[in-house]
Amino acid sequence: MAKKNVTITLYMSEMIYDVQNKSYLKGRSLVDQDPARVAYMQANDDDENLNQVLRSIGGAFGSLKSELSEYIEESASTGNNILQPNEDIIVALKMPSNFNEAAVKVVSEGLHKYIVNMALAEWYKNTDPNDFDSYMKLAIENMKEVRDGINKRLRPVRQEPNA
């Protein structure tokens, strides 16, 4: 049976923005508690912070590929761990022929959220165990959403018998 090709583009600029914005909002919520800590936790475009965000996004993308390996269509036999801020991520999925394409948006949004939350978990891994746990739980929920979307199927249609 023929498979359906589904291609999803995850925009790096949007993922970087979400990581930076969420860490900024977290920092703002802590400003009364520990202003010095806030100054060090907020992601920005300084080279060292941007490089860490890109590494975290790359690690999250690797995890995503492992989670969805049965659907990922990839022919590369080599790879590297370098992402660029202007390099969008293309996810090519090979879906069953009865995949309901109405679920593509759910899958796309879930993949974006999964990568952002995994990157944030990595960001907080060494600095705040509670936030690490929170973002890991969110990422796990995001992957459940993705899998729910991937598992949406079209209802079978009765074929007319040949007369």
Is 161 part of a structural domain of the chain? no
C-beta pairs of 63-72 under 8 Å, 24+ apart in sequence: 63/118, 64/91, 64/111, 64/114, 64/115, 64/118, 64/143, 67/143, 67/146, 68/93, 68/146, 68/150, 71/95, 71/150
Cα–Cα distance list, 144 to 62, 68, 152 (Å): 17, 11, 13
Is 133 part of a structural domain of the chain? yes
Is 20 part of a structural domain of the chain? yes
Look up the domain containing 78 and give its range.
Answer: 4-150
| Count of structural domains, the chain | 1
Each residue's pLDDT expressed in tens, for the chain with a length of 163 residues: 589 999 999 999 999 999 888 887 777 676 666 655 544 545 566 666 788 888 889 999 999 999 999 999 876 544 555 678 788 999 999 999 999 999 999 999 999 999 999 999 988 887 778 889 999 999 999 999 999 999 999 887 778 887 6
Rounded distance between C-alpha atoms, residue 120 and residue 23, angstroms: 8
Assigned token pair, 87: 């390099």
pLDDT computed for residue 76 by the predictor: 54
Is 69 part of a structural domain of the chain? yes
Is 139 part of a structural domain of the chain? yes
Is 19 part of a structural domain of the chain? yes
Is 123 part of a structural domain of the chain? yes
Rounded distance between C-alpha atoms, residue 83 and residue 102, angstroms: 30
Q: What amino acid is encoded at 136 in this protein?
A: M
pLDDT computed for residue 82 by the predictor: 65
pLDDT computed for residue 78 by the predictor: 47
Is 12 part of a structural domain of the chain? yes
